[in-house]
Structure 1
Amino acid sequence: MQDTQIPIADSPQVFCIQKNAKISDIGVLGQNIKWYENISSTISISESTSLENGITYYATQTISNCESDRIPVTINIQEATTGDCIHFVEELPFPKFFTPNGDGFNDLWTIDSAYLAPNSRIKIYDRYGKLIKELAPNTSWNGTYLGNLEPASDYWFSATRFNGTEFRGHFSLKR
Structure 2
Amino acid sequence: MTGTTVDSQIDELSELDVVSVVEEVWATFLGADAFMPLIPLAPGTPAPADPCWDAAITVAGAWQGIIMISLEAGLAHHVTEAMLGLEPGGEHSTEDVVDAVGELVNVIGGNIKGLVPGPSKLSLPMVARAPIRVSSLVELVRLPLAWGEHQLALVVGVPAGGDSVEVGT
Bigger RCO of structures 1 and 2 (CA < 8 A, at least 6 apart): 2
TM-score w.r.t. length of structure 2:
0.24
Larger Rg belongs to: 1
TM-score w.r.t. length of structure 1:
0.23
